[in-house]
Amino acid sequence: MSIPSRRAKDRIVTALLYSLMAAVILLLAGVLAFIVKNGLSALSWDFLTQPPRDAMTRGGIYTPLIGSIQLIAVAMAFAFPVGVLTAVYLVEWARDGLFTRTLRLAVRSLAGVPSVVFGLFGLSFFVVVLGFGASLLSAGLTLGCLVLPVIVGASEAALSAVPRDYRDASYAMGATKWQTIRKVVLPAAFPSILTGAILAVGRVAGETAPIIFTGAAFFTPRVARSLLEPVMALPYHILVLATAGTAIDETRPIQYGTVLVLLVLVLGVTLVGVLFRAKLRMEKRR
Amino acid sequence: MTPKIKIQTTAMDLWYDQFQALKAIDIAIPERAVTAFIGPSGCGKSSFLRCLNRMNDFIPAARVDGQVLLDGRNIYGAGEDVIALRRQVGMVFQRPNPFPASIWDNVAYGPRLHGITNRRTLEGIVEGSLRGAALWDEVKDKLRSPALSLSGGQQQRLCIARAIAVEPEVLLMDEPTSALDPMATARIEELVRILKEHFTVAIVTHNMQQAARISDETAFFLNGEIVETGPTQRLFTSPRDGRTEDYITGRFG
Amino acid sequence: MKDLNVRQTIDAELEDLRRSLLSLAGQAGQAVKNGLWALCNQDRILAREVIDGDDRLDRQTLEIDDKCLLFIARFQPMAQDLRTVSAISHMAVDLERIGDLGVNVAKFAVKLAGKPFVKPLVDLPRMGELFQEMLDGTMRAFINGDVDEAKGACALDDDIDDLERQVFREMLLMMMENPRIIEEGTALITVARTLERAADHVTNLAERVLYAITGEVASASSFRRPRGSRDDDGR
């Protein structure tokens, strides 16, 4: 092929990639702008601090907002330690065998299961079998199961990426395996594990299907005060307002406002995580 | 006066599954002296070093036959506490591998492992170890800085400080200067000369001149066997075995 | 594909060093030989040549020394290579001294030229031949790595020592009988002593050669008659 034609081809591909990227950015910006434009008018201090009133046609979103935060907390409190420890087992202890491979396969498959299936599982297992009822606990644990593969996968990758050198150095000083993992391997892998956790929070905050059957309430007059009470959650609240309300058109601003708050919540959690990770990395490098 | 023997191996074999990596290794490593292991790549010298603090235990298929006596005790004997052994026989690796933490935390890591929590005691150990590794003056004002901000040569001396912080008796060094520039290498070599006043040093090196410069005894490994051992001075001027001669004059390897 | 010969450069450099040393040995030997020939044949011109040639010998010695240092700096030799270079460096110094001794003999040749011989010179040429044989043998041993030849060369030193003592006794007797020949007599004694010292330097060379070959420190005396049977003058 001649040099000019190769050059032309290169230009075409470059132009194509740039326009694709521009399209994606425009699309995202469009969605964001649309939400902000429609939702901003609804936002106020009262909107954030007042519970919904008058059959949810007025008032704020205090209850679902706190409910979502509670769900995130329960889900992560379950999924983070379990996920990380599973990964530690897989990376540090498990020998390559049938059991390990099955376990890995199971974790990978879990990631591909539709979220509604988790909802049904949560309903039958947490709500019915364990008798937690439709509650914050059941919904949180279900969400935890949903993001477990994300955390396990990210943690496994992070742990495997810790250089063998660090382990060698630790063992060579007479450290036990657990000391080595706790004091060297986990700290070194922590920033990357955090990345997985951040992604998981995003999913937990946004999912609707798993919580409908397990603990998300159509309406509760107040914030859940125990793990066994049902909670309202932002995504389900949006669904309810948009489909089941008595005055769907009247509540449009509230719907968009809620969407905007959910978006900000997810972005906010992500941002905090990213900043924290950056700080950790800074401390370790220079 | 013959020096005391710190480590003595007798008919030591190392197997990886069906592959015999080391054959009938008999060697005496004198106390408070530097013993160098030289030989071409893959001759087993690094594997041998790792047998001396049982770092090969991590390779599931590795098996050691014969005896490795440390102060007369077989470290492969029943009831040997590997954790205690590694505290007694420290190791420094080919690439500087400080933990991604502060200089202070790196040096304090080992003592903390072994249960030292008193702040003042730790301060003393950190300073003493850094002095012992000739790094104190360079880092005393930035002990809280990340270890990874140090230069390669400083990192390697930090690793030496970290290793000696648990007060080992033997220091194994696996090509400790192969990733360093000449000046940093020279500093490590000078340090090794000082270290041998307190420690028994066993060092693997690809650099024959380095072995000649810093060691008292040298062992030449070839294909998993020891071809020749002897005082460094003699081995490098008048090797007895033709294969040693050929290797150190660059005829192979 | 042919293997890269990693020894090529180092071997070529060593060969060059050996060649330089051989050349120096040839000239140092020639200085002694010519000096002695000039003495025996009253050849002033040849004697002058020997004396003038000393500068070149000194220069070559320095050159070899330079080359040895450069070789060590460039290759950091070990084992046999190291011993060979060390031997060459030391041997060059001994050869330079042998050259100086040749010059000393040549100076006597100049001094004695034109004067009648006090006696026919038999033992001195014989010493010269033995010296040459020792030197040639030692250098051959060096080039061929032949231990036995080096030891054999050392053994000749005994014969040279015997001849030196013979010359000494003979001249002493003649000088006692005829004090007028004391000047010539002492000159010849000195020449004999000079040749004996040149041969001693050759035994040094042989020791270096043996060390280069075997790596063991050898003393030339161990290849010669036991000390007790030699009426050594203790020097």
How many other C-beta atoms lie within 10 A of the C-beta of residue A128?
Answer: 12
Percent of chain A whose pLDDT exceeds 90: 41
Q: Which chains touch C (3 or more CB pairs under 8 A)?
A: B
Highest mean pLDDT among B27-41, C175-189, C212-226: B27-41
- Mean pLDDT of the region A122-128: 91
What is the b/e burial string over B39-56, where b = at least 16 CB atoms within 10 angstroms of the residue's CB? beeebbbbbbbbbbbbbb
pLDDT value, residue C46: 95
Interface residue C80 vs chain B (CB under 8 A): yes
Tell me whether A10 touches chain B (CB under 8 Å): no
Q: Lowest mean pLDDT of A96-100, C138-142, C227-231, name the range.
A: C227-231
Domains of chain B: 5-97+171-248 (3.40.50.300)
ipTM: 0.91
Cβ–Cβ below 8 Å for A168 and B86: no
Return the pLDDT at C227.
54
Q: What is the mean pLDDT of residues B221-242?
A: 93
Q: For chain C, what percent of residues have pLDDT higher than 90?
A: 76
- Taking CB atoms and an 8 Å limit, are A166 and B97 in contact across chains? yes
User: C143 touching B, CB under 8 A?
Assistant: no
CB contact under 8 Å between B238 and C76, yes or no, is: no
Residue C31: the pLDDT is 96
pLDDT for C113 equals: 84
pLDDT on residue C235: 41
Q: What is the dihedral of CA B165, B169, B170, B171, to 10 degrees?
A: 20
Distance of CA A122 to the CA centre of its chain: 17
| Residue B21 · residue B44 · CB < 8 Å | yes
Q: What is the dihedral of CA C36, C37, C40, C45, to 10 degrees?
A: -110
Say how far apart CA C70 and CA C64 lie, in whole Å: 10
Q: Could you tell me the pLDDT band of residue A237, with boundaries at 50, 70 and 90? A: confident
Mean per-residue pLDDT over chain A, rounded: 88
pLDDT tens per residue, range C157-171 = 999 999 999 999 999
CATH of A46-284, one of 1.10.3720.10, 3.30.1300.10, 1.10.15.40, 1.10.1510.10: 1.10.3720.10
CA distance C164 to B154: 67
Query: Which chain A residues are within 8 Å of B145, Cβ to Cβ?
Result: 286
Whole-number pLDDT of residue C120: 84
In this prediction, residue B3 carries a pLDDT of 79
pLDDT at residue A225 in the model: 85
Cβ–Cβ below 8 Å for C79 and B209: no
Give the helix ranges, DSSP H, for A172-248: 177-180, 186-206, 209-212, 234-243
Q: Identify which of B237, B248, B251 has the shortest CB distance to residue C7.
A: B251
pLDDT in tens, B137-168: 999 999 999 999 999 999 999 999 999 999 99
Q: Note the pTM of the prediction, 2 decimals.
A: 0.79
What's residue B167's pLDDT? 93
Q: Which residues of C touch B248 (CB under 8 A)?
A: 78-79
- Closest Cα partner for B94 from B123, B66, B55, B65? B55
- Please state the domain extents for chain A: 46-284
| Averaged pLDDT for residues C72-85 | 92
Q: What was the pLDDT predicted at B103?
A: 96
pLDDT digits (tens, 9 = 90+) for C96-128: 999 999 999 999 999 988 888 888 888 999 999
CA of B224 vs chain C CAs: smallest distance (Å): 22
Chains B–C, number of C-beta pairs less than 8 Å apart: 35
> If contacts are CB pairs under 8 Å, which of residues 17-46 in chain B contact chain C?
none
In this structure, which amino acid lies at residue B25? I
Of residues C139 and B78, which shows the higher confidence score? C139
Exposed, middle or buried, C65 (CB in 10 Å: 0-12/13-18/19+)?
Answer: middle
Chains with 3 or more CB pairs closer than 8 angstroms to A? B
pLDDT at C234: 41
Q: Which of A43-52, A183-192, A254-263, C3-12 has the lowest mean pLDDT?
A: C3-12
Q: Do chains A and B touch (3 or more CB pairs under 8 A)?
A: yes
Return the pLDDT at C232: 46
Chain B nearest-CA residue for A183: B109
Q: Does the pLDDT at position B2 exceed 80?
A: no
Flag whether pLDDT at A240 surpasses 90: no
What's the number of CA atoms in the CB half-sphere (13 Å) around residue C205?
38
Of the listed ranges A84-88, A195-199, C98-102, the one predicted with least confidence: A195-199
Q: What is the per-residue pLDDT for B231?
A: 95
β-bridge mates for residue B19, sequence order: B16
Q: What is the mean pLDDT of chain C?
A: 90
Q: Which of B236-245, C108-117, C204-213 is predicted with the least confidence, judged by mean pLDDT?
A: C108-117
Q: Average pLDDT of B187-202?
A: 94
Domains of chain C by start residue, with CATH? 8-229 (1.20.58.220)
Residue C217 tokens read as: 């420190």
d(Cα B99, Cα A180) in Å, to the nearest integer? 11
pLDDT at C228 over 60: no
Q: Do B238 and C83 touch (CB under 8 A)?
A: yes
CB-based contact (8 Å) between A186 and chain B? no
| pLDDT confidence of residue C1 | 45
User: Chain B within 8 Å of C76 (Cβ-Cβ)?
Assistant: yes
